[in-house]
Structure 1
């Protein structure tokens, strides 16, 4: 199926909160178990932007359908081609807005993380976001493998691997650590540093 190519020069307006919520609702209503929610999608798109290679040179059909759990026959999993087109447009607009925020805001960039108020404190949990991020990593294991092997970047990616990886791959010690909400909060906040580092390595002049 043909999809519009990602163009980093496109002047797309960022999604409003209402549009983000509408996209999240649209994805969650699809009859596809693998469809992402807005948090996982944000992590997935971020990884595509800061990871190896030039996303604008990759066919959108190679990565875009994963957002809604993959394409089926006809319009599936969408009930109509109109909804597919709407989802495609909203995802590409959000992708562009993430790219612009990373470029213009740097460390002030804000991903879509879950936040819970516990004892009058805001504790961040980026697990779902990191799961989405690692789905993008899985699309290019060789390219990402080189990044994980880099001493500085590999160390920075550890929080993402811990939060978003399979539970059965965790050591007993790491599994116990992740049961602590404060530890999850610290790891989640470290995810921002990892993404900023990746972006600066990839776009040193940005």
Structure 2
């Protein structure tokens, strides 16, 4: 199926819609980008029914959030388009560049993006533990987790970020590493399941009785 990448004006509309629901706990576009990056580069596909309430917050249950069904459909078109933009980038082996926004002082922290990524990981914590346990994938997660935990309310786990620009620059190769890790893992699991199914088929074949020589 062909996909037309979202335009700058599309992203402006998506960002504006999400911002309108900020008071209801909706994600910002930066947070959404990190969230989708985790879902797409991670263990398995998550259905929209599972992630849409997380994106919109309380606005998801508010029937007055969208003026009409057409307005909601237009929003979903933009959300789906952003998902496909990321998915097609990773599938093509192209570099993924995070959507990072500057604050009122013009500074880019990356915290919202990393926190969105962490929220995506939280949907499949057991499967993400596999990445933490792998030396290469775990190292790729390190800069993201540093940024994600910088604003953690618990002082015991809160991180102190130094050399922020370096950490932000590591996001692009990190996503490529994580995508390759889980793509490879799924391929090995599929191969193992296929081999097991093949063995089961062989064992399920009826055994023909051996022929015996009868004396006349």
Change in Cα spacing, 1:123 to 1:186, as seen in structure 2 (3 Å) is farther
TM-score (norm 2): 0.73
Spell out the pairing of 1:186-205 with structure 2 (5 A cutoff): 186-204=166-184
Larger radius of gyration: 2
21, 29, 32: which one aligns with 2:12? 21
Match of residue 86 from structure 1? 74
Structure 2: how far apart are the matches of 1:62 and 1:174? Answer: 30
Gaps in structure 2 of 5+ consecutive residues? 188-216
Change in Cα spacing, 1:61 to 1:93, as seen in structure 2 (3 Å) is same
Q: Does 1:168 align with 2:153?
A: yes
- The structure with the largest strand share of the pair is 1
1:44 touches 1:132 (CA, 8 Å); kept in 2?
Answer: yes
Cα deviation for residue 31 of structure 1 reads: 6.1
TM-score (norm 1): 0.77
78, 88, 96: which one aligns with 1:109? 96
Match of residue 30 from structure 2? 39
1:24-47 CA distance string (max 9 Å, x none): 001111264321111111111111
Runs of 4+ in structure 1 over 6 Å off: none
* Aligned Cα root-mean-square deviation (Å): 2.7
Match of residue 127 from structure 2? 143
1:173-200 CA distance string (max 9 Å, x none): 942xx2x4xx111111112121010112
Structure 2: how far apart are the matches of 1:35 and 1:172? Answer: 25
